[in-house]
Amino acid sequence: MSSSIGKITIPTDDEGFVLLQCPLCGVYFKLNSEDMIADDVIEVTCPSCGLKSDNYLTSDVIEIAKAKTMNYALDMFHDEFKKLERSIKSSFVSFSAGPKPKHEVEGKMYDNVHIMV
């Protein structure tokens, strides 16, 4: 059985393109985000070497996904601890969830990458 805890959206540049990197030749390229999820696009190949890969995500995208996942998990844990804090009302036991945890910086993908076309 599969379950989902949320959806991670990867930010695009101002024109709606996602930065990708070929793991085989290392060349960066961009692909329209709508084309990435379109049903009529069967596969993506590198525009430089022409080879197909299972994953074109850059390390920046993976780091953003990790940060978003961590922030989501921290929020979920804090919410559950707050529920526990409210449910424990006793003169013998006290529990405090504490302040909301600080979120990790999710960063930007396109700060220092320039694509020549």
Residue 112: DSSP 8-state: S
Torsion, CA 23, CA 28, CA 32, CA 38, rounded to 10: -10
* pLDDT tens per residue across span 25-73: 999 999 888 888 788 878 889 999 999 998 888 887 788 788 888 988 8
* pLDDT tens per residue across span 12-24: 888 888 888 999 9
Q: Does the pLDDT value for residue 117 go beyond 50? A: no
DSSP state string for 27-65: -EEEEEHHHHH-TT----B-TTT--B-S----HHHHHHH
Instruction: Give CA angle at 113 (53, 22), nearest 5°.
Output: 10
At residue 28, the 3 state secondary structure works out as: strand
